[in-house]
Amino acid sequence: MKYDVKVELKNKIEEYSFGEVAKQANGAAWLKSGDTVILATVVIDETEIVKDDFLPLTVQYIEKSYAAGKIPGGFFKRETKPSDFETLTSRIVDRSLRPLFSKGFGYPTQITILVLSADSESDLQVLALNAASAALYTSDIDINTTVSAVRAAKIDGQLILNPTLTELNNSTLDLYISGTKDDLLMIEMRSIGGEKVEINDVYMDPMLDPVLSTGVYTTHISNVMGEEELIEVLEKTEEFLFASNSKYEIVFSSHKKETTAIEYKAHAINDEMVTYVKENYMDAIKSAMCNMAKSERSTALRQLRKKILTVVENWDELELKDAIEKVKREQVRSQILEQRVRADGRALNEIRPISICTNVLPRAHASCLFTRGQTQALVVLTMGGPKDAQMFENLTDTGTQNENFMVHYNFPGFSVGEASPITGTKRRELGHGNLAKRALEPIVDLDGQTVRLVSEILESNGSSSMATVCGGYMAMKAADIYTSDIVAGIAMGMVSENGKYAILSDIMGLEDHDGDMDFKVTGSKEGITAMQMDIKLGGVSLDILKEALYQAKEGRSHIIDIMIEAEKEIVFNDGILPSTDFFHINPSFIGEIIGQAGKTIREIIEKFEVAIDIDKKDGKVKVTGKSKTGVSGARKHIEGIINAPKIEKVEYKVGDKCKGIVKKIVDFGAFIELPDGTDGLLHISKVSDQRVEKVSDVLREGEEIEVEILEFKGNKISLGRA
């Protein structure tokens, strides 16, 4: 392959070839970086033009198994439906490139990104966007700016741009930003994992009866990033991004195809209609704005449109619809900018009323009904074991991985008053669930458990994904799952015009539609765990972004205070809620808990219906069961063994006689517990001087009898009646 362009960037080199392959596409770029090869193509359908006011752009990112020397697993040996990673990557590329298209572009456009070869260290999401942008920029479509992405990591406090996947796995930060040489377009950020800290000290578990012991223990500390630190990272990353795009445009410019003349959709607003609506129906517009639900507002505006058409003849309804929409949008924005009041009467930083009800579903392990204004999420939690984890394998993975913390988000049409069928998971649903997962994951350490959160959006008017974050946290607390911090989410917006701007907290659907920024921030009172931002106005200064971050922190703190109060009202579904308890013991006691040949621990497992896992090295004990009562009972039993008075071991000799307790009767005899706790076997032939058919005819469990030591067989003691 002949490469036309070589671009040297921080920590990597990208080589591009144009015009060698996919020559019938409107644009194509072959990108090689390391051992990764990606082909991106752009095709527009000029046979039709979509009349509706939206851009008919489709982006498909597709990974080929052969790219990593693999054959697809499962029954079908060819690629089938996209993986979650492919869908999320398609969404990232779409959100980054969509702002490049001019208003009125109505031709169906398909961007296809194929991963043909992949090494284990390449950042495929960054390369996918860079390749797609190169194909679009050098195509015959009238687009004259590049968009690229950069990922930032932080390892041991040091900022690393374009990290390898190994470096990213060791990072406390995952920041993905995209933009042009002048503007930031999109931000995706998450704090990675948390930190396990070893403590060599006295330990007290506050979850059950306080029990003190000593040893080396681990605790989970969540990883959040403060607003100031994030702004510093963004400044450095943005600077690199802008410089990279300037470099791309210089080296790609000589490979641009001649631009094809394209007919744009006519989208002129009828000024006569706009003036008429303003002069005669402003009260009706303001009244419609007060209908906060999308369905109610649409109905009010449609009724207004019908009313005007009965008064004024020969007006086109679609033109009138556009005119009314323009008047409504101008009113929403001017009211915010000039009067500092929003359509529902709230102040710019005011949060809508919040109500939280936990464990509303009696047969679910845990649940939370979280309502904020006219947005409502029912988040349901189910707990499982390691075998319940979701198995997956990314293209660059060396083997199968397990996902033991899942967040699934569902957005049915009835939540916004639409009569639409419920089909498979859409890209938006997958993206919102992924954002909520990234928000909550840093504060949990499941240690082998599997947790699935399902968010059913029952009503939506602004940021149901943030309601999912809040409801998800409360569902975990309603399941008695330990979290290292309290996390909430808030959606921010902005209106900017003629040098004025206003930042809005807890935006509703109207403000999202008519505003200039959609900015979602999740975190604790101390910092941020995840963030997602899409900018509609072409860019935003970091000073404004900083102001928005601090206003979001203020709103988040308000929501967290409400969540703290709701935690006090939680009543657990104890009857069906699985329980897991972690505690530590002195490793010297492990032998006594396990017992001879595992006898003692089997008895505990059977009696309390639990599973017990003991780390022999540091004395960590994990008890898991179907009920909290069983887990608590097993723990107390183990602690009873540890705290029981110690009995001196007796050195028995053949011929010694002593009293023992009948511990267990079996077909071939009875196990007798001797005074020092040692067990011996009284064979059925030794139970009585006469022949015995059933041991239970002669002995009862718990009965005290006198026995004689007959012989030793290894660690086993053979007994007879004295």
- Report the first-to-last Cα separation within the chain, whole angstroms: 93
Residue 436's CATH number: 3.30.230.70
Query: Contact, 622 vs 601, CB < 8 A?
Result: no
Question: Tell me, what's the pLDDT at 196?
Answer: 52
> Same domain, yes or no, for 413 and 452?
yes
- Higher-pLDDT residue of 307 and 453 is 453
**Average pLDDT score over the chain:** 87
491: pLDDT strictly greater than 80? yes
Instruction: Specify whether 401 is located in the same domain as 517.
Output: yes
Give yes or no for residue 194 having a pLDDT over 60. no
Q: Are 183 and 99 in contact (CB under 8 A)?
A: no
What is the maximum alpha-carbon separation in the chain? 119
Using the 3D structure, point to which of 643, 673, 692 is the last residue of a domain. 643
Position 106 scores a pLDDT of 84
Do 231 and 286 have their domain in common?
A: no
Query: Closest by alpha carbon to 358, among 350, 347, 369, 371?
Result: 369
595 burial (CB, 10 Å; 0-12 / 13-18 / 19+) is middle
CATH, residue 668: 2.40.50.140
- Residue 691, C-beta contacts closer than 8 angstroms, at least 6 positions apart: none
398 has a pLDDT exceeding 90:
no
pLDDT class of 216 with cuts at 50, 70, 90: very low
556 is written with which tokens?
A: 């988040």
State which of 33-37, 335-339, 541-545 shows the largest mean pLDDT. 33-37
Over 80: is that where the pLDDT of 297 sits? no
Question: Which of 643, 665, 687 marks a domain boundary?
Answer: 643
Q: How far lies 108's CA from each of 40, 47, 129, 475, 650, in Å?
A: 17, 9, 20, 43, 88
Whether residue 539 has pLDDT greater than 70:
no
> Is 174 domain-assigned?
no
Q: Per-residue pLDDT tens for 664-721?
A: 888 889 999 888 778 888 988 888 888 888 888 888 888 899 999 888 887 788 898 8
What is the model's pLDDT at position 204? 37
The residue that leads in pLDDT, 24 or 625, is 24
Last residue of a domain, one of 539, 567, 595: 567
Which distant-in-sequence residues (6+ apart) come within 8 Å of 588 by Cβ? none
Domain shared by 636 and 683, yes or no = no
Pick 197 or 155 by higher pLDDT.
155
Share of the chain above pLDDT 70, in %: 93
348 in a structural domain: no
Residue 285: is its pLDDT beyond 90? no
Is 600's pLDDT higher than 80? yes
The closest of 59, 93, 88 to 186, measured between CA atoms, is 93
Confidence check: pLDDT of 258 > 50? yes
The reply to whether 527 falls in a domain is yes
Q: What local confidence, expressed as pLDDT, does residue 195 receive?
A: 56
248 and 377 share one domain: no
563 domain residue, yes or no: yes
Residue 119 has pLDDT above 90, yes or no: yes
Query: Residue 199 domain-assigned?
Result: no
Determine the pLDDT at residue 222. Answer: 64
Asked if pLDDT for residue 457 goes beyond 90, the answer is yes
- Does some domain include residue 365? yes
Q: Identify the pLDDT of residue 538.
A: 62
pTM score over 0.85? no
Assess contact for 24 and 41: CB atoms under 8 A.
Answer: no
When pLDDT is averaged across residues 601-627 and rounded to a whole number, the result is 86
pLDDT at 200: 43
pLDDT at residue 215 above 50? Answer: no
| Residue 537 contacts residue 99 (beta carbons within 8 Å) | no
The better pLDDT of the pair 466, 79 is held by: 466
Instruction: Specify the pLDDT at position 220.
Output: 52
Residue 205 has pLDDT above 60, yes or no: no
- Whether residue 15 contacts residue 31, with contact meaning beta carbons closer than 8 Å, is answered with yes
The token duo for 612 is 């017990």
C-alpha–C-alpha distance, residues 140 and 27, integer Å: 7
pLDDT for 155-177, tens place per residue?
Answer: 988 999 999 999 998 999 999 99
Residue 582: pLDDT band with limits 50, 70, 90: confident
Q: What's the pLDDT band for 647 if we cut at 50, 70, 90? A: low
Q: Which structure tokens are listed for 296?
A: 């109610």
Distance in angstroms (rounded) separating the CA atoms of residues 114 and 117:
9
Would the pLDDT of 202 be above 70?
no
Do 609 and 635 have their domain in common? Answer: yes
Question: Domain residues for 322?
Answer: 271-339
Residue 247's region, left for phi above 0, alpha for psi from -120 to 50, else beta, is alpha
**C-alpha 652, offset from chain centre:** 62
In this structure, the answer to whether residues 497 and 369 fall within a common structural domain is yes
Report the number of distinct structural domains present in the chain: 5
Q: What is the pLDDT of residue 342?
A: 87
283 Cβ neighbours under 8 A, 6+ residues apart: none
Same domain, yes or no, for 88 and 233? yes
Q: Is the model's pLDDT at 101 over the cut of 80?
A: yes
CA distances from 122 to 126, 432, 549, 645, 646 (A): 9, 25, 31, 60, 60
**What residues does 31 pair with on adjacent strands?**
16, 38
pLDDT of residue 77: 86
Please tell me which residue, 445 or 405, carries the higher pLDDT value.
405
Q: Which helix (H) or strand (E) holds 402?
A: strand 401-403
Looking up residue 590, the CATH number of its domain turns out to be 3.30.1370.10
Answer yes or no: is 133 within a domain.
Answer: yes
- The answer to whether residues 428 and 480 belong to one domain is yes
Which of 658-673 are b and which e, b meaning 16 or more Cβ less than 10 Å from the residue's Cβ? bebebeebeeebbbbe
In single-letter form, the type of residue at position 678 comes to: T
33-37, 52-56, 433-437, 676-680: the lowest-pLDDT one = 52-56
The per-residue pLDDT for 344 is 85
Residue 478 has pLDDT above 90, yes or no: yes
In this structure, what token pair is assigned to residue 177? 């930003």
Together in a domain, 428 and 533 = yes
What token pair was written down for 84? 């979650």
- Is residue 507 domain-resident? yes
Q: Is 298 helix (H, G, I), strand (E, B) or coil?
A: helix
How large is the average pLDDT for residues 589-593?
85
CA distance 487 to 378: 17
Rounded Cα distance between 645 and 75, Å, is: 60
Question: Measured between alpha carbons, how far is 506 from 348 in angstroms, rounded to an integer?
Answer: 9
**Per-residue model confidence (pLDDT) at position 95:** 92
- Note whether 332 and 358 are same-domain residues: no
Mean local confidence (pLDDT), 355-360: 96
Instruction: Please check whether residues 145 and 230 belong to one and the same domain.
Output: yes
Structure-block tokens of residue 282: 């402003």
* Residues 174 and 153 sit within 8 Å (Cβ to Cβ): yes
**Residues 6 or more apart from 363 whose CB is under 8 A from it?**
573, 576
